[in-house]
Amino acid sequence: MILLDGRKVADDLKAKLALDVVEFEKAYHRKPCLKVIIVGNDPASMVYVKSKHMACQKVGMGSEIINLDSNVTQANLENEIQKLNNDNNVDGILVQLPVPKHIDLTAVLKTIDPKKDADGLTFLSAGYLWSDFEHVQPCTPSGVIKILDFYNIPLKGKRAVVIGRSQIVGKPMAALLLKKNATVTIAHSGTENLRHVVQDAEVVVVAAGKMSFFGSEYFNKNHVVVDVGIHKDLNGKLGGDVKFDEVSAVVKAITPVPGGVGPMTIACLLENTIKLARMRMAKA
Ligand code: NAD
């Protein structure tokens, strides 16, 4: 079994990004800068946001966390985003999800300038993705592809199943696998006989958001499994959608949780910010 070590791939990418930052600074006399807006103080989201901030600092980028009150109005949140849209020294904007129920996420995503869409989740970015237009790609699926590439997992002509159809993971994951010339199936909560659907695939990306839901009965020795799920059990131990211990014993390759997709999501966020910075400055 090959362990697909996302931490190693992320460290590799971040080392390259640190050099890109130096080059950018030489050319434009400032650092690429990411601003992360978080509404409220959900503990898990706070941890994610801090990890992003620290990762930026590690590669030498500028970064700031903007913590808004959980009762912030839609207008004030959008106003905050507009300020960042108009700030020439800000290259990437990310609104940490989920946002509180009273916030209209569609309107929030529409407010973010696509030229600063570090997460690649605005509607224009999604359109670019499905139209094969050069732009940034959503961080988590982009990280999955980089892990598969790093370990030379063939995708061209292979069957890939994505379990999950969310805007953040499932759908863009399918688009990126398609870009790699895989034959892609999207499975979801309405899919019948999922075990049968998965059976003949070479690559299975699991993003169902169900803790330890998928056991060895779903997998076989031909499967490369990428577990996007991330959950904390009652003892605070992190795990994914896949039962790692039993599944790793039967498959060809698998990502662990933690240490799989998670670190790549952050590294790809930094990569996106630097890419957006370069694109914007080149046009300035
Ligand atoms: P989501 O809840 O928005 O979507 C889950 C999808 O899975 C849905 O489309 C649903 O149809 C499908 N699904 C649910 N149960 C299923 C089942 N039994 N069989 C088949 N399909 C099923 O979740 P999301 O935002 O896409 O996130 C998925 C998981 O990935 C979560 O655990 C989330 O925390 C994690 N995540 C991790 C990272 C990372 O960086 N590692 C980033 C984003 C999300």
The predicted-structure confidence for 170-185, as pLDDT tens digits, reads as follows 999 999 999 999 999 9
Task: Confirm if 241 and 213 have CB atoms less than 8 A apart.
Answer: yes
Residue 275 lies in a domain: no
At 25 the pLDDT is 98
pLDDT at 283 over 90: no
At 76 the pLDDT is 98
- Distance (angstroms) between ligand 1 centre and the Cα of 3 equals 22
The predicted-structure confidence for 99-133, as pLDDT tens digits, reads as follows 999 999 999 999 999 999 999 999 999 999 999 89
At 198 the pLDDT is 98
Residues 108 and 148 in one domain: no
Residue 8 lies in a domain: no
Residue 59 lies in a domain: yes
Residue 125 lies in a domain: no
Residue 121 lies in a domain: no
| Number of domains composing the chain | 2
* H helix or E strand, kind and range, residue 238: strand 238-239
- Cα–Cα distance between 151 and 237 in angstroms, integer? 27
Residues 160 and 232 in one domain: yes
At 284 the pLDDT is 83
Closest C-alpha residue for ligand 1 atom 5: 208
Last residue within a domain, chosen from 113, 147, 182: 113
* H helix or E strand, kind and range, residue 273: helix 261-283
Residues 166 and 210 in one domain: yes
Residues 143 and 255 in one domain: yes
Residue 212 lies in a domain: yes
Strand partners, 37: 66, 95
Residues 162 and 253 in one domain: yes
For 198, the domain range is: 139-261
- Return the best residue to mutate from 99, 142, 189, 218 for the ligand 1 pocket (most ligand atoms within 8 A of CB): 189
Last residue within a domain, chosen from 113, 130, 151: 113
Q: What CATH number did the domain enclosing 218 receive? A: 3.40.50.720
Secondary structure of residue 150 in the 3-state scheme: helix
Ligand 1 pocket residue status of 263, Cβ below 6 Å: no
Residues 256 and 144 in one domain: yes
The predicted-structure confidence for 74-85, as pLDDT tens digits, reads as follows 999 999 999 999
- 72 φ, ψ to 5°? -55, 145
Residue 38 lies in a domain: yes
The predicted-structure confidence for 205-258, as pLDDT tens digits, reads as follows 999 999 999 999 999 999 999 999 999 999 999 999 999 999 999 999 999 999
Residues 159 and 52 in one domain: no
* H helix or E strand, kind and range, residue 205: strand 203-206
Last residue within a domain, chosen from 51, 79, 113: 113
Closest C-alpha residue for ligand 1 atom 41: 262
pTM here?
0.97
Ligand 1 pocket residue status of 168, Cβ below 6 Å: yes
In sequence order, what are the residues at sequence separation of 6 or more whose Cβ sits closer than 8 angstroms to the Cβ of residue 106?
none
pLDDT at 148 over 90: yes
**CA 273 to centroid of chain Cα atoms:** 13
Ligand 1 pocket residue status of 204, Cβ below 6 Å: no
Residues 184 and 256 in one domain: yes
Residues 83 and 191 in one domain: no
Residue 284 lies in a domain: no
Q: What CATH number did the domain enclosing 55 receive? A: 3.40.50.10860
Ligand 1 pocket residue status of 166, Cβ below 6 Å: yes
Residues 109 and 165 in one domain: no
Residues 187 and 103 in one domain: no
Ligand 1 pocket residue status of 253, Cβ below 6 Å: no
Residues 143 and 257 in one domain: yes
Share of the chain above pLDDT 90, in %: 98
- Distance (angstroms) between ligand 1 centre and the Cα of 126 equals 18
Closest C-alpha residue for ligand 1 atom 6: 164
